[in-house]
Structure 1
């Protein structure tokens, strides 16, 4: 999940003294902050400290305003990112598409098979799509957690090329719940248990086409400023990180209400 860092910029003295009401008899404009004596600076600092200790809520209020402002700026930037990359997001021609192909809401997920939060989200995303019935769901293979992730994605994409969409979905579900590492014997067992040609799939894993799809999805993620999984585009809104089922339902409901 995405971690947000908040940075503080010190207020200019005039703004600070006006905000805290510390000017006293003299107006803020009459105080020359560039030529304050050491004693004046010390007194000014003490006064500010006293005010903040007596009114600590001011700090939290300032943080809340800053976070809201940054969130609004990020949301506006994300809208542009979705719009600028809409063709690659929604119609790349190779990502697996499930749910209702004609649904009124489209959800795109960037997922890594070895990501704990992707695994946690998997049953909830499935429940959302199945219970709603009117969501088009697109899955982007985005292996970013090492060789095991890459091998899993290569196997899943190769399955789609060799055996089609239904086989891909079965393999995807098996890989996202796989308890151990995706070793060659483990991948063979998955394919065999599903009645698939394991040798044909493994032979396709390192093909130019498989590597092209992974590279293009990585380039898309970079363009979208996505650096973690799971990441979603839900009804045109960027959602960076895991969201519980109720949260996803709320986003979908709000999107429908807005249309």
Structure 2
């Protein structure tokens, strides 16, 4: 609501102040009541003014959020993109890096899983990074510990097999069940289970949580696509548009 609108409304109700000197603080209680009624009547007659104002506010908030995310990504870029404790796949020389903060018990992570895999495979020029970010309770932590331990014990290929299996798992994520799962995948379940509670596994999870805190991430899935933060699930076509946008922006 502009000063000129306030001034003209006040004048319309017989207030003595000229438009350029309009001072709401100088109004009497009677003037304030009349002014309030005038504003209310105007907005009821012209509700599109409110919608326009809300639209401008939302645009400003979105722009501020984007600028804040960009600053956070720039400050933490090396840890996001080049952490040696995070699995990296896709095209290792890709021109766009896609980072996912994932929780195995998250329904939207499960929904996004196949679509992200399709995006990476069909594009062919995306470097894909996974960040273990368990936030949904004990079974999330057990699953992430087991996945990280799989990578430490058996390497990147085994980790990806375990990651895919954990995303698809519908039973309880207990140490016993995950050990059996590892054995079924042709891995040494006992060795992985023995490593899962190691201090180095705890350190990796703690580091991911600290990074997420700095990035103001509090949900999964969250994606970082080069210079863009995507908070929550986005359908495949939307993800493709974001990747294309990052390429155009250079």
TM-score of the aligned structures, taking structure 2 as reference length: 0.93
RMSD over aligned Cα atoms: 1.7
Task: Output the CA distance in 2 between the equivalents of 1:233 and 1:23.
Answer: 53
Larger RCO (alpha carbons 8 Å, 6+ apart): 1
1:60/1:196 CA distance change after superposition, 3 Å: same
Contact 2:221 2:231 in 1 (8 A): yes
Between stretches 43-52 and 29-38, larger displacement belongs to 29-38
1:150/1:41 CA distance change after superposition, 3 Å: same
1:206/1:15 CA distance change after superposition, 3 Å: farther
- In structure 1, which of residues 110, 135, 156 is the aligned counterpart of residue 147 of structure 2? 156
Give the match for residue 33 of structure 2: 42
Give the match for residue 130 of structure 1: 121
Would you say 1:111 and 2:96 are equivalent positions?
no
1:47/1:163 CA distance change after superposition, 3 Å: same
Residues 200-220 of structure 1 show CA distances to partners (whole Å, capped at 9, x for unaligned) of 000000101101110111111
Give the match for residue 219 of structure 2: 228
Task: Output the CA distance in 2 between the equivalents of 1:170 and 1:128.
Answer: 18
Task: Output the CA distance in 1 between the equivalents of 2:11 and 2:108.
Answer: 52
Would you say 1:66 and 2:57 are equivalent positions?
yes
Task: Output the CA distance in 2 between the equivalents of 1:243 and 1:21.
Answer: 46
Give the match for residue 215 of structure 1: 206
Task: Output the CA distance in 1 between the equivalents of 2:75 and 2:182.
Answer: 38
TM-score of the aligned structures, taking structure 1 as reference length: 0.90
- In structure 1, which of residues 78, 81, 85 is the aligned counterpart of residue 76 of structure 2? 85
Q: What is the count of residue pairs matched by the alignment?
A: 247
1:34/1:186 CA distance change after superposition, 3 Å: same
Residues 118-144 of structure 1 show CA distances to partners (whole Å, capped at 9, x for unaligned) of 111111111100110110000000001
